[in-house]
Amino acid sequence: MSAMKFIPLAERVYADLDNERLSRHIVGLTQTDSVCCFDGDMRTIKAGDYLYLYMDCGDDYCVSEGVVIANPYPTAHRYCCVLDEDILFWQDYCAATNR
C-alpha cells in the first residue's frame, strides 16, 4: 500500500459510500453540481475534481477519495466518484497515516 496523505474530516465532502455504490469503485455523488462538505457548506464540483469523501457510520466515519466523473450509469446522479482508495474506517485511516 502506498503512503496516504492525511486529510482531516473538515476537508471532506459527504458521500453515501454504502447505498450509492454503483460498482466496486464507483459511488454516486449528486444529482446537481453541489456536494455537502463536512461543515455543512455546499461545494460546487465538476468532472475531473479530486475529492476526499466521508460518511457518518454512527460510532465512526468511513473515508475514501477519488476523481469526479460524469455519471456513466442510467441512474439519477449527475456526478459519480471513481474511488482511488479502499473505504476505511476513520480510526484505521488515522493509523495508516500515522495519526
Residue with cell 469503485: 25
Count CB neighbours of 44 within 10 A. 9
Give the Å distances, CA to CA, from 70 to 18, 80, 89. Answer: 19, 6, 27
The helices-and-strands tally (H runs, E runs) of the chain is 1, 9
User: The pTM is what?
Assistant: 0.92
The domain segmentation of the chain, as residue ranges, is 9-96
40 backbone dihedrals φ, ψ, rounded to 5°: 95, -15
* Residue range 5-14, pLDDT digits in tens: 999 999 999 9
Q: Residue 85: what pLDDT?
A: 87
